[in-house]
Amino acid sequence: MTVESRPGPALLRVTIGSFAGTVIEQYDFLLYGFMTALVFNTLFFPSSDPTVGTLVAFAGFAIGFVARPVGAIVAGHYGDRIGRKSMLVMTLLVAGLATTAMGLLPTYDSIGIWAPVLLITLRIVQGFSYGGEVTGAVLMTTEFAPRHRRGYVGSFVPTAGPAGLLLATVAIMAVAGMDRADFLSYGWRIPFLLSAVLVLVGLAVRATAPESPAFVGARTRHSAPVLEVFRRHTRTVLLGVGTGFGFYVIFYVLLVFAGSYLTVQLKLPAQVPLIAVAIGSVVVIVLGPLCGRLSDRFGRRPLIVTGSAVSALFSFGFFALLGTGSTALIHLGYALAFGFMTIMYSPLITFIAEQFPTAVRFSGASVAGQIGAVLGGGLAPLIATALLTTVGIQAVAAYVCASLLVSLVCALALKETSRTDILAE
């Protein structure tokens, strides 16, 4: 049976399993980002200077990204060797355990330096598990989908990211309204402990999903697929890194740095950026599948180029809106920024995965994506905060703009893949 004739119910189960698991993984990984400026900078990285505490906490945030390429290599190796499905179950389980453990950690006041050490260790475990998650989920959907619907079906995995982000936002907002002392004492732990329940649900859904037909039908198995990727596809990996770089920069500037800027520098209530991110997440959830469908019709590359260009131009306007201090204008800025970003984000992972043959697709797409995540997202809050304190907010806007232009140029250098038969070796 060919992918073109794959029955609908199986594709639906695969899509739901990939979507649900990625929602939970994103919830786990992004929850840490939210808590960096709200809790961790004081409870785990105390400092007399709030900016210094935030910088140190952001450094801990960045460390989680360092483990992502390692996780990508491991998940990619076994995903190309023994199958996509087993890796998706493993990554979800490991991430859930790490996140739940974060909610049980004692703080700096209780155990001193061991508190940040344990927190960062769990963050590294999170990063390791997330390294192969998104790529594996995209492969499960796109390798199951008919050629003319790969972009649309594949877009549900990137859309799961903002869905997980929205879930994390709602969970934090539910406890952020508590008395400040209660929130710092136990309230912040509740969203982390909730991960245990979510993971059980996600594992139940993923366990029913069938294996990727492209993997099952592949004629080639490499003993070391990652080495094969760098031996034969180095250029594609480097361009894939560059294509994702700008997205990761803008996403984590919006998610982590901007929230810190609003609460620490502009002294606005924490609810302002939390609601803004929730609004932006809804925008992505609505526009994501539409952009995926457009990528099936017009191609992946035109959307990525357009989204990169528009987002680059708007980066200066976004920070100008934040600078007004007006809640309405801040929320408008987030909605527009997330909307423009979605144009490039929706087809991005599918586009990169389609660049590689089946036998090394998991390894190639995971490594390219996660190196881009480290260089872009992992360092973005730290670089943005350093630029803010040394130069000013316009330097942060210029940094975001330049990063998106890197994505634009690299996307143009890659081949269009929307009409490619991904089963062809």
Q: Tell me, what CATH number does 337's domain have? A: 1.20.1250.20
pLDDT in tens, 256-310: 899 889 988 899 988 899 899 889 999 999 999 999 999 999 999 999 999 999 9
CA distance 411 to 413: 5
Note whether residue 127 is domain-resident.
yes
CA distance 188 to 168: 12
User: Residue 343: which of 300, 291, 412, 293 has the closest Cα?
Assistant: 291
Residue 57 contacts by C-beta under 8 Å, 6 or more apart in sequence? 36, 37, 40, 41, 44, 45
Q: What angle do CA 261, 128, 199 make, to 5 degrees?
A: 85
CB 3 within 8 A of CB 147: yes
How remote is the C-alpha of 285 from its chain's centroid? 14
CA distance 304 to 118: 39
pLDDT in tens, 76-85: 888 888 888 8
CA distance 211 to 35: 36
CB 399 within 8 A of CB 386: no
**Torsion angles phi and psi, residue 299, rounded to 5:** 110, 150
Can you give the pLDDT at residue 140?
Answer: 82
CA distance 282 to 165: 10
Q: Can you spell out the DSSP letters for 247-288?
A: HHHHHHIIIIIHHHIIIIIS---THHHHHHHHHHHHHHHHHH
Can you give the pLDDT at residue 48?
Answer: 56
pLDDT in tens, 84-139: 888 888 888 888 899 999 999 999 889 988 988 898 889 889 888 888 788 888 88
Mean predicted lDDT score pLDDT of the chain:
87
Note whether residue 220 is domain-resident.
no
Banded pLDDT at 52 (limits 50, 70, 90): low
Note whether residue 215 is domain-resident.
no
39-53, 68-82, 102-116: which range is least confident on average? 39-53
In the chain, the number of structural domains is 1
- Is the model's pLDDT at 212 over the cut of 60? yes
CA distance 105 to 121: 12
Note whether residue 222 is domain-resident.
no
Other C-beta atoms closer than 10 Å to the C-beta of 206 total 24
Note whether residue 214 is domain-resident.
no
> Containing domain of residue 239, as a range?
3-207+232-413
